[in-house]
Homo-oligomer: A and B are copies of this chain.
Amino acid sequence: MSKNFRAKVINNFALNPRTFLLEIEPIEETIAPKPGQFYMIQPDSSYDPLLKRPFSYIRKSNGKIQFLCAIKGKGTRLMMNFHSNKIISMLGPFGNGYPIFKSNHISLLIAGGTGIASILSLSNEVQNKYLIYGARTRDELLLLDKIEELGDRFIVCTNDCSYGKKGMVDELLKDFISSHKDNINSIIIYACGPLPMLKAISKISAENNIKGFASLEENMACGFGACLGCAVKTKQGYQRVCKEGPVFPFKEIIW
């Protein structure tokens, strides 16, 4: 069982012009991932780009692992063109995923943009849950098919009003809190998305005394705690997103 493995590309297709869904299958024995963990994927075998890229997995089933990847720069542009059967080099699973509590509580999952990938890995593992999912436009709301089974426990919004409610997830969070005043103490928030979104959610949580966790991103060289490159400021000093994170309690993060 290795965290340094090769995998075969099974499927790779565009969901919109800026995002693709990548499915791979390890060709060596690997370790099972936990919700919120991530993998490092090598975009190319040359040294340009040099470093592997971190991606949260969406789910693992039948030995296959799925990723949702936004096209940002050099690495993701190369990954977008991964053809089926290509053998790629990967590391993982890494990081501390989302803490899952045995107690009787409501899990409020909040995703912004491609943050939905990490949130979906968790969604399968928790019971009494709600999911708030926001994106800029309809076009950027992805993987809805995988989510809609949640029915009315699934709340979706777009900034431009092109689908679901209009607005940002933090507004929906406020609404949610108002309508759950009674059992507010049993809510636990799990959030993944752009930094400003996480910041806003963390603030609202603090105001309402709700416990919550955010999955953070930072540039990474290694992904497994060796380079100290992925530090984020926390109340306990710098911590590594790849090792102590990527999931941190809201109240530990110094935003």
Interfacial residues, chain A to chain B (CB-CB below 8 A): 44, 46-49, 74
Chain B residues, CB < 8 A from A49: 46
Most B CB within 10 A of own CB, among A44, A47, A48, A49: A48
The complex places the Cα of A175 from the Cα of B247 at a distance, in Å, of 79
The complex places the Cα of A48 from the Cα of B74 at a distance, in Å, of 13
The complex places the Cα of A132 from the Cα of B49 at a distance, in Å, of 46
The complex places the Cα of A47 from the Cα of B74 at a distance, in Å, of 11
The complex places the Cα of A48 from the Cα of B45 at a distance, in Å, of 10
Q: List 7 A-B contacts (CB under 8 A).
A: A44-B46, A46-B46, A46-B48, A46-B49, A46-B74, A47-B48, A48-B48
Which residue on chain B has the smallest CB distance to residue A46? B48
Q: From residue A124, how far is it (CB to closest CB) to chain B in Å?
A: 37
The complex places the Cα of A48 from the Cα of B49 at a distance, in Å, of 9
Chain B residues, CB < 8 A from A47: 48
Which residue on chain B has the smallest CB distance to residue A47? B48
Which residue on chain B has the smallest CB distance to residue A50? B48
Chain B residues, CB < 8 A from A44: 46
Chain B residues, CB < 8 A from A74: 46
The complex places the Cα of A48 from the Cα of B50 at a distance, in Å, of 10
The complex places the Cα of A149 from the Cα of B121 at a distance, in Å, of 65
The complex places the Cα of A44 from the Cα of B16 at a distance, in Å, of 26
The complex places the Cα of A46 from the Cα of B46 at a distance, in Å, of 8
Chain B residues, CB < 8 A from A46: 44, 46, 48-49, 74
Q: From residue A83, how far is it (CB to closest CB) to chain B in Å?
A: 8
Q: Which 3 A-B pairs have the closest CB atoms?
A: A48-B48, A46-B48, A47-B48
The complex places the Cα of A49 from the Cα of B48 at a distance, in Å, of 9
The complex places the Cα of A49 from the Cα of B46 at a distance, in Å, of 8
The complex places the Cα of A83 from the Cα of B104 at a distance, in Å, of 56
The complex places the Cα of A189 from the Cα of B48 at a distance, in Å, of 44
The complex places the Cα of A141 from the Cα of B44 at a distance, in Å, of 34
Chain B residues, CB < 8 A from A48: 46-48
Q: From residue A79, how far is it (CB to closest CB) to chain B in Å?
A: 13
Most B CB within 10 A of own CB, among A44, A46, A47: A46
Q: From residue A22, how far is it (CB to closest CB) to chain B in Å?
A: 19
